[in-house]
Amino acid sequence: MNTMYQRRRADLVTWMARNSISVVVLEDTEGRREKAVRYFSGHPGDALLIITITGHAVLCPWDENLAERMADVDVVIPYSEYGRHPVTAAAGIIEKIGVPANSRIEIPAHTPYPLFLQYAGTLMDHVVLCRETGGVFAEISRMRSIKDEYEITATGAACALSDTITGLLEKHIGSGKIKTEIDAALFIERTIREAGGDGIGFETLAAGSSRSYAIHPVPAYTHAKIGTDGLSIIDFGVMIDGYTSDTTLTIATGKLDPAQEKLITLVEKAYAAALALYKPGVPTREAALAADGVFKKAKKSMPHALGHGIGLEPHEGPGIRNREDNEWIFEKGMVVTLEPGLYDPVYGGCRLENDILITEDGHRVLTKSRIIRL
């Protein structure tokens, strides 16, 4: 019986055969993270993964002990055998496997230009490809954007815990048990880890009303009070088995200024307008433009994308943005965010974000985040 990782690699190999690619090199390293290494091998990262058209998978991990426990591949070779250099390792493995000359070898789309030159110079007997679009990495992004059963289950567990935490945040901020941004952020982290989760999926953003004007406040949380009069924002991810949720709660406290009420109304309206378009076959750009339209009528604009896929990464395909080069189309099995927001340097910010599974005939909202009034 094939494992999940073997099945994914088999799907990739089918694509490689159709596109005459003999070898794919995947690299996860500091500064160039590539969760596809985990997606195809089970190994969490800091490694080179080589997949050949014959279905052979070789992992070159930085941490051999960890690979022994987590990697589901054919062969593990310590990275130190190749001086921990990706080009040396890739060339060494390609030679060891006996890949025929003039093979088409695709290296990571994120390969910096200077490193590309090294690959091309070292693999001179082959054709080295490095493509953002039309190549294997675009295909991997597409594959990863459609979640399989395991992934939907893991994300569902993350979303369920996220909802529990949202409810507890509301309760504890209301009662005064959670007083500061730090209290909120560490409550989230502890709750996830104690439940056996991996931890937060990205750094929690907890901004009291004095700091919510920033999309991503710096620092992400401080000893400032949270839930004081005005608009507070808490944006967090719960990661379970490598898969993260991503939701944002806005807490509106006290008597609001009409300008703040307006922000809330507009965000909720944009949310509803866009959500109606979260269904198979609709270009994701249309949903982004629907939200933009609501804001534009009120002479406002949103400084970030409307949403994105979530999974092994907090941001992955599909993109849900208004850029003209956005060609993503909603498909069944995608798990994405919907997160309209408006930010005012004086009145603060308001963002509403939930996670949504695209289904055969529309969508299922996986989380219950909201704009709360306290």
Tell me the site size for a copy of itself, rule CB under 8 A: 59
Q: Single out the residue of 282, 309, 294 nearest to residue 340, CA to CA.
A: 294
Task: Please identify which residue in 84, 262, 269, 332 interacts with a copy of itself, judged by CB under 8 A.
Answer: 84
Shortest Å, Cβ 362 to a copy of itself: 29
- Taking CB under 8 A as the rule, does residue 112 contact a copy of itself? yes
- Taking CB under 8 A as the rule, does residue 111 contact a copy of itself? yes
Q: Single out the residue of 202, 195, 189 nearest to residue 35, CA to CA.
A: 202
Q: Which residues contact 340 (CB under 8 A, 6 or more apart)?
A: 267, 270, 271, 274, 291, 295, 302, 306, 351, 352
Distance of alpha carbon 298 from alpha carbon 293, whole angstroms: 9
- Taking CB under 8 A as the rule, does residue 148 contact a copy of itself? no
Alpha carbon of 332 to those of 127, 200, 280, 354, 361: distances in Å? Answer: 36, 26, 6, 17, 8
Q: Single out the residue of 190, 170, 174 nearest to residue 182, CA to CA.
A: 190
Cβ-based nearer residue to a copy of itself, 215 or 282:
215
- Taking CB under 8 A as the rule, does residue 46 contact a copy of itself? yes
Task: Please identify which residue in 304, 329, 332, 333 interacts with a copy of itself, judged by CB under 8 A.
Answer: 304
Please state at what angle helix 86-97 crosses helix 113-122, rounded to 10 degrees: 30
Cβ-based nearer residue to a copy of itself, 46 or 268:
46
Task: Please identify which residue in 17, 80, 150, 296 interacts with a copy of itself, judged by CB under 8 A.
Answer: 80
Cβ-based nearer residue to a copy of itself, 182 or 365:
182
Provide the token pair at 355. Answer: 């996670």
Task: Please identify which residue in 100, 114, 176, 258 interacts with a copy of itself, judged by CB under 8 A.
Answer: 114
**Options 12-20, 78-86, 144-152, 352-360: segment touching a copy of itself (CB under 8 A):** 78-86
Q: Which residue has the tokens 């996220």?
A: 162
Shortest Å, Cβ 210 to a copy of itself: 12
Residues 182-241 that bind a copy of itself (CB under 8 A): 182, 186, 189-190, 193-194, 196, 198-199, 203, 213-223
Q: Single out the residue of 193, 205, 187, 276 nearest to residue 247, CA to CA.
A: 205
For 47-76, b/e burial (b = at least 16 CB within 10 A) is: bbbbbbbeebbbbbbbbbeebeeebebeeb
Contact characters 12-31, a copy of itself, x per CB under 8 A: ------------------xx
- Taking CB under 8 A as the rule, does residue 4 contact a copy of itself? no
Distance of CA 153 to the CA centre of its chain: 16
- Taking CB under 8 A as the rule, does residue 44 contact a copy of itself? yes
Cβ-based nearer residue to a copy of itself, 75 or 138:
138
Distance of alpha carbon 203 from alpha carbon 287, whole angstroms: 27
- Taking CB under 8 A as the rule, does residue 132 contact a copy of itself? yes
Distance of alpha carbon 298 from alpha carbon 288, whole angstroms: 16
> Residue numbers of the site for a copy of itself (CB under 8 A)?
30-33, 44, 46, 62-66, 68, 70, 78, 80, 83-85, 109-116, 130-133, 182, 186, 189-190, 193-194, 196, 198-199, 203, 213-223, 301, 303-304, 315, 323-324, 343, 345
